[in-house]
Amino acid sequence: MRRILPSGEFTSWFTKLLPHIHLEPTYAPDAMDGKLGHLIGLNLSRAWLLEGIISRLPAADARSEPLSLVAGKLTQAGLNGIQSENYQGSHWLGTFAVYLLSGRVDSFA
């Protein structure tokens, strides 16, 4: 919605959709488990999407700072999780990290 609605309409829509966001990082108890590795990707994709949301909020929006803090926690947890050399996660988690760290919040890729 942030890509198709004008900024003011997006802000109104976002307020109605999610008046409060309470996200905490997820942790994979075993980073070598390919299925649990998806939790690492969840952190990275959530952080990337939050950065995109923040980019569309008005500069003075009070939600920007708390959302940035949450995005930072998710980013840190995600990046810490991909330090494993395990192929199960390393072959795709890096892509999520590149999307996030490149700052390309408007990329559809």
Q: Pick from 100, 102, 103, 107: which is nearest to 41 by CA?
A: 100
The pLDDT score that the predictor gives to residue 8 is 87
User: Per residue in 1-11, is it b (16+ CB within 10 Å) or e — as a string?
Assistant: ebeeeeeeebb
pLDDT above 90 as % of the chain:
46
DSSP code of residue 31: T
Q: What is the mean pLDDT of residues 68-85?
A: 89
What average pLDDT is seen over the chain?
86
- Residues composing the chain: 109
Task: Say what the pTM is.
Answer: 0.83
Whether residue 109 is predicted with pLDDT greater than 50 in this model: the reply is: no
Q: What is the pLDDT of residues 12-21, one digit of tens each?
A: 999 999 888 8
Whether residue 108 is predicted with pLDDT greater than 80 in this model: the reply is: no
Q: Pick from 88, 93, 92, 86: which is nearest to 35 by CA?
A: 88
C-alpha dist (Å) from residue 40 to 24, 62, 82: 12, 28, 7
Q: What is the pLDDT of residues 77-95, one digit of tens each?
A: 999 888 767 666 667 788 8
For residues 51 and 43, is the Cβ–Cβ distance under 8 A?
A: no
